[in-house]
Chain A
Amino acid sequence: MKKADIKLGFTTMGIAITYYLLTSQIPEKAAFYPKFVAILLSILSLIFLVKTAMTKYEDNGRNLFEDMKVKQYFFVISVSFVYVSLINILGYFVSTFIFIIICLLGLKTKKLYAFLTTIGFCIFVFIIFKILLRVPLPKGFIF
């Protein structure tokens, strides 16, 4: 945890410095407040780093991501990414259908349950968002 906190402190310090440098691109009057926020974040990051360095952590050496199911996590995140990329091409319903069924099967759901859940969800969204709330959803070349 200590390592994670040190990384966090340096990251936020990095954000503060980058953000401060970016303020040079905007007019002086509009940059006044962002500069104030950047200085505030750098001070807080510094205090945090000093505090972390001085604190003794009981669970030292524990990795924040050690229990992570890496394959499963990246499967979900990449399928989600492809799903969002395809929405404007395939339309909301077709891409959602494909996304949910792939995601469910990838997460080892029984085929029949996966199919029924996907159909059920698409009908639910159609009724609630399309019919009741009349929200326009992205249309693709199919539906």
Chain B
Amino acid sequence: MNDILYGFINALSFTNVIAAFLSVAAGILVGGLPGLSAAMGVALLIPATFTMPTETGLIALAGVYCGAIFGGSISAILIHTPGTPAAAATAIDGYQLTLKGKAGKALGTAVISSFGGALISSIALYFFSPLLAKLALKFGPAEYFWLSIFGLTIIAGVSTKSIIKGLISGTLGLIISTIGMDPMLGRPRFTMGSMNLISGVPFTATLIGLFSMSQVLILAEKAIKKVAKANDFDDKVILSVKEIKLLIPTIFRSGVLGSIIGILPGAGATIASFVGYNEARRFSKNKSEFGKGSIEGICGAEAANNAVTGGSLIPTLTLGIPGNSVTAVLLGGLLIKGLQPGPDLFTTHGKVTYTFFAGFIIVNIFMLILGLFGSRYFAKISRVSNNYLIPIIFALSVVGSYSINNNIFDVWVMFTFGIIGYLFKKFGLNPAAVVLALILGPIGEAGLKRSLMMNHGSYTALFKSPLSFILIILSIISIFSPMLMNKLQRTEERVDSV
């Protein structure tokens, strides 16, 4: 309890509040620009958090994450182009309201719902994280091996259309993770004689390459068009009391749904927003309004997709298995700060963790304020054309990758992984799976070797404990869950188009 209280007080320190404010603004900008993703924003910010105190850095990362998820709805509402895939459901009714000259109302609904959804998910974060973290105490080497397999099978299915391509992506990541020192024997492997690779491929530079520079190349291959002009709007962003009362049940429902979907590995914000949207319609008294500019529709989608932010942090912080690409990158940021997911986060590092949790709430308060009073200005951002974004993102990628070790080698690593990331995207592979493999690879390898050593080379040790069995079953389920999720999403989308 002390740590929770301390967290709130510490999160309100001047530095943390400023970090929360600036990062949310940056996140909204990233999310508002079609073509830039939340994962890209978080990857670019990681180097900047290096010199910050741990909790401030984490708050800043959460700020970009939450801001970007909300920011995606601005361009969805104003130009019918979702800034992030998670805002696709918001575009359905949001753009209809814009056409009716009520873009302000649509944005107001989006921001209030996003705030409500995120707040509900933060309650889940406080409540479930310590409970789940205790489970990690029961893990031995064999369980850690299976946990890494489970994590990889989850991410393999996420945001990849083909499960087998996801698994191939993860395995390619495992290969990259073996570059450097052997975790048990301390011998260098595949370093090609380079001292720079002794401690493995530089992690942050790899992240920036895979998520930021690859995006530069994706933008560079497309014809540069003038981005559609965002619609100006004159109506108020602030909603009436009556409208807010109408939205409260939807916020609550979608908030809970989004939090649960966020915790479930493999689902994510896009699925949550469609589920939230459809549930809002099912319970609505004005079903006919849906698709024609219903504020309940916007609310259903936005509360759900922002609730995913808090929910998805739960498995990331407790078991070290992120369910989507943003949390995979965020987990990287956590590890760089020397924090290991698991029970230690709630005991030894309790003060940092609970400051981060309180910061998560503050971040969302700023999202509400900036959304209500700044949407008009953020809307103008969606007019920035790709010819500006290309050199700016690349120059930021360079400064970001250099600043970690002050080594130009890292910039070349970023460059190489930028090209790899681009090819990954072109061929439908999943860069997030590589990130997770880089994190889980060494954990899995050490778990496997320790387990075999402790049992004189016998493989049966891997199958002894009930927890190992549960993890094996979960891994098998997670290989098949994307099929189920795809089917679910297709059904939801089909219902939408009716």
Select B51's contact among A69, A72, A88, A133, beta carbons within 8 Å.
Answer: A133
Asked if B388 is at the interface of the complex by the 8 Å CB criterion, the answer is: yes
Answer whether A100 and B392 are a contact pair too, CB < 8 Å, given A30-B189, A44-B167. yes
Answer whether A33 and B178 are a contact pair too, CB < 8 Å, given A84-B411, A87-B411. yes
- Closest A-chain residue to B408, C-beta based? A88
Q: How far is the CB of B366 from chain A (nearest CB, A)?
A: 19
Chain B, 413-446, contact with A by CB distance < 8 Å: what is the 0/1 string?
Answer: 0010001000000110100000000000000010
> Please, how many angstroms separate the alpha-carbon atoms of A60 and B208 in the complex?
33
In the complex, the answer to whether B171 meets A121 with C-beta atoms within 8 Å is no
> Please, how many angstroms separate the alpha-carbon atoms of A32 and B178 in the complex?
11
> Please, how many angstroms separate the alpha-carbon atoms of A33 and B419 in the complex?
27
Which A residues touch B164, using CB under 8 A? 44, 47-48, 51
Q: Which residue among A37, A65, A129 has the maximum number of chain B CB atoms within 10 Å of its CB?
A: A37
> Please, how many angstroms separate the alpha-carbon atoms of A84 and B190 in the complex?
25
In the complex, the answer to whether B174 meets A27 with C-beta atoms within 8 Å is no
Q: What secondary structure prevails in chain A residues at the interface with B?
A: helix
Q: Which residue among B51, B174, B394, B408 has the maximum number of chain A CB atoms within 10 Å of its CB?
A: B394
In the complex, the answer to whether A41 meets B175 with C-beta atoms within 8 Å is yes
Q: How far is the CB of A25 from chain B (nearest CB, A)?
A: 8
In the complex, the answer to whether A68 meets B221 with C-beta atoms within 8 Å is yes
Which B residues touch A26, using CB under 8 A? 187, 189-190
In the complex, the answer to whether B48 meets A76 with C-beta atoms within 8 Å is no
In the complex, the answer to whether B388 meets A104 with C-beta atoms within 8 Å is yes
Which B residues touch A29, using CB under 8 A? 185
Chain A, 50-87, contact with B by CB distance < 8 Å: what is the 0/1 string?
Answer: 01000000000000110111001101110011011001
Chain B, 181-208, contact with A by CB distance < 8 Å: what is the 0/1 string?
Answer: 0100101011000000000000000000
In the complex, the answer to whether A108 meets B426 with C-beta atoms within 8 Å is no
In the complex, the answer to whether A136 meets B395 with C-beta atoms within 8 Å is no
- Closest B-chain residue to A49, C-beta based? B164
In the complex, the answer to whether B222 meets A33 with C-beta atoms within 8 Å is no
> Please, how many angstroms separate the alpha-carbon atoms of A68 and B423 in the complex?
13
> Please, how many angstroms separate the alpha-carbon atoms of A117 and B388 in the complex?
8
> Please, how many angstroms separate the alpha-carbon atoms of A133 and B399 in the complex?
12
Which A residues touch B175, using CB under 8 A? 15, 19, 34, 37-38, 41
> Please, how many angstroms separate the alpha-carbon atoms of A121 and B389 in the complex?
11
Asked if A137 is at the interface of the complex by the 8 Å CB criterion, the answer is: yes
Instruction: Report B's interface with A, CB cutoff 8 A.
Output: 47-48, 50-52, 164-165, 167-168, 171-172, 174-175, 178, 182, 185, 187, 189-190, 216-217, 220-224, 387-388, 390-392, 394-396, 398-399, 402-403, 406, 408, 411-412, 415, 419, 426-427, 429, 445, 448-449
Instruction: Report A's interface with B, CB cutoff 8 A.
Output: 4-5, 8, 12, 15, 19, 22, 26-27, 29-34, 37-38, 40-41, 44-45, 47-48, 51, 64-65, 67-69, 72-73, 75-77, 80-81, 83-84, 87-88, 92, 96, 99-100, 103-104, 107-109, 117, 121, 125, 128-129, 133-138
Q: List 25 A-B contacts (CB under 8 A).
A: A15-B172, A19-B175, A30-B182, A48-B168, A51-B164, A64-B426, A67-B222, A72-B220, A77-B220, A77-B419, A80-B394, A80-B415, A84-B408, A87-B398, A103-B391, A104-B388, A107-B390, A107-B391, A109-B387, A117-B388, A133-B50, A135-B47, A135-B51, A136-B403, A137-B403
A-B pairs, 6 with minimum CB distance? A107-B387, A103-B391, A76-B220, A135-B403, A30-B182, A100-B391
